[in-house]
Amino acid sequence: MGNEVNCRVRYGKQESEGKVLLETSEIIFRGDFRLKISFAAILSAKVVGDELQLQTAEGVAIFELGASAAQKWREKILHPKTRIEKLGIKPGMKVSLIGFEDQDEEFLKELQTTEAVMTPAKNGLPKECDCILLRTDTKQQLAQVATIARKMLGAMALWIIYPKGQKHITEDDVFAAGHKAGLTDIKVVRFSATHSALKFVIPVKKR
């Protein structure tokens, strides 16, 4: 069971079948009634039988997920992954940042707390690198993707960081840039309140 399922939800006197989405920092239900609960608002989370029960100041929300899925969701809610973990950055990895400069000081500080090796990007891409993070705030900046893709080797990953909900650069633009460069998208995560991140890699058969 993934992070988007159909199930029955009870909240106060309301009860309905519908779709539940487990997002990075909130759980959302859409059925005969709507419900959005941020992780920060959850006072307790427990599994009772097949149910995930979330206690909030406004009451208890009960999600009939099944025992196994309820336990997995509870763990994800109580112990959400950090941004570094979602990006797959681990100790010893060689990471290169392109286009960040000082635009995201908080993220740069997070990277400094890891044991990842920061590799400067020269002429568009370092020779040895495990993971590239490219920040693009305009469609024009996506032109860099083709250059980077030509220099990528093996299982090297390219994360494209882009603004959410904008018309001048959309998720479709990012997908198109990666695919046109011959890359395959394999993952999308929430980078921040304003930006998303799409992960691209070289197709396995071309490595």
pLDDT in the model for residue 52: 97
pLDDT in the model for residue 124: 57
Q: What 3-state class would DSSP assign to 48?
A: strand
Ordered strands of the 157-163 beta sheet:
117-118, 94-98, 131-135, 157-163, 195-201, 184-190
**Percentage of residues in the chain with pLDDT exceeding 90?**
73
- Tell me the average pLDDT across 128-138: 92
- Tell me the average pLDDT across 85-101: 90
- Tell me the average pLDDT across 27-47: 95
pLDDT in the model for residue 118: 85
**Percentage of residues in the chain with pLDDT exceeding 70?**
95
Q: Is the pLDDT of residue 2 over 60?
A: no
**pLDDT grade for 192, boundaries at 50, 70 and 90:** confident
Check residues 120 and 76 and name the one with the higher pLDDT. Answer: 76
Task: Report DSSP state, residue 127.
Answer: S
- The model's pLDDT over 53-90, given as tens digits with 9 standing for 90+, comes to 999 999 999 999 999 999 999 999 999 888 999 999 99
What's the chain's average pLDDT?
91
Task: Report DSSP state, residue 82.
Answer: P
Distance CA 201, CA 20 (A): 30
pLDDT in the model for residue 1: 38
- Tokens 């071309």 correspond to what residue? 206
- Tell me the average pLDDT across 126-139: 89
> In the chain, what are the domains?
4-80 (2.30.29.30), 84-206 (3.40.50.150)
Distance CA 167, CA 87 (A): 25
- The model's pLDDT over 134-169, given as tens digits with 9 standing for 90+, comes to 999 999 999 999 999 998 999 999 999 999 989 999
Spatial CA neighbour of 62 closest among 76, 75, 46, 78: 46
Query: Alpha helix locations (H) across 9-161?
Result: 67-78, 83-86, 105-112, 144-151
pLDDT in the model for residue 123: 58
